[in-house]
Structure 1
Amino acid sequence: MRAGNIYQFKHMSQFHNVANFNKHKEVFLQRNPDLFTHSEFIAFEVLSQYSVVVPGVANAKIGTLVSACSPKQGGISRATFVRMLRKAKKAGIIQTYKTYRSSGGFSHNIFVFQSFDATCDTQMTQCENQEIAYDSKESAVQSTEETEKLFINLKNKDLNIRQEKEVQPLHDDNQLLSKDLDYTFVPNTVPNIFIHTVKPFFDRADEIYTFWQKALLAYKKFNFDTPLEHMTTIVIEAFKTTVFHYKHRNIKTTFVQYYYGTLSAMLSAEKRREYAQHGVKPRYNWLDV
């Protein structure tokens, strides 16, 4: 499908007018009150607002829609928006279509809300081969990066942050996927005290392991004499600090980026203390600047 003006896709609308579109949407939400988390509901409402020029049809980029969520209670992440789309498509209320530029490559997406029989109590289903919408080829690659792996789930806990990860299926569909492994499967290279600190918020093995790997990356920048395992209290303090600032909505980036930056700052201070204990002046001392 070629990219174009929103009116080019008018034939895809399934609603007579905006009022008819809103009615179907509200009935859907009433029938699925627990489908979306608070952040996902914000994403769903913003997408709905972008679907009134042609009732039930929007042609905005995901990045544009995420930015439009910013004024609403602190905004949302791109991962949250993608997760909302996945749930909405599975429930049958939204279908997405990719468009292409005349010069080649992906352009904006088309989001089409689906009409349904409001008197029917059975839940709608969606084609299993429906693709996940992306802004472009570059976006498809970026979706596997760190910023897209963590997402917020406030449905069952006051704070429960999980990592969103596209897991490629194994050769045997019956084999256990990594996302099914809980915290008891974390490799023994990760200290138990760190595992038990993180698991109330991230209880999957790959999630906890990712945080420890980030700690290793930060640790290796400073060439410590002390092993990281003997500095676990600093790593835990960085994680707890990140949780505190997340709960107070002070994090402007992603949770994992804030955690990594906080830990790097703490390790930098620890390195300066190590220099002081050995009476060695570092080649660069910010106190002398």
Structure 2
Amino acid sequence: MLKAINEEYQGNGISRSTFKRMILKAKEMGILTTHETERKNGSQSSNLYSFNRFPHSEPPKAKKLNHPKETINLLKTNNQENTKRNEAPMELDHSFVSDKVPQTFVQLVKYFFTDAKTIEEYWHMVQIAAFRFEYDQNTEDILSIAINSFKQLIRKLKSTKTVGKPIAFFYGILTNKLKELYLDQLPEIESKPMRYVLETGEVMYYDWLSIES
């Protein structure tokens, strides 16, 4: 057999030792059975190798599983969990407002907007406007202007329904008041007439601040 294999594949077959090793392993696994043969004169001839059939094994019988009587609706469970996650956060009342917001301002705004976040947003507008006009250090004056501006907002809300965004309207009132205060505190410009020399040599003085309208 090995000679025929080597001749078929031009000397690239397997060695005798490899063949014997594979035969031995196949016999151990029960794949092959070796039968010794004899010639007519009683001498030993070539061995006969026969492949063994594997027994037909029946598949195991399926066991009945004990299914629970109540089934879990995974879709319903997931929907319930998603609903809990998507629930809006609970609103906090005025008692949860940050300590950075003056209580005088909180006590006024809470009668119209009870949510702590909304009250803080109104005070944030006050801080922005004060910083814009470099007035953020004058705490008492800013608080007074903020309270008056908020009262003006409420009067507007009560008298008309044309206010689309109350917080933006409040910021507009604030900036107008602070701008007016800022301009009032600017140092007065010294009036100094300007000197002009005409072609005729005549000298004239022109004071544009003192012109009567």
Q: Same fold (TM over 0.5)?
A: no
Instruction: Please tell me whether Structure 1 or Structure 2 has the larger radius of gyration of its CA atoms.
Output: 2
TM (norm. structure 2) is: 0.45
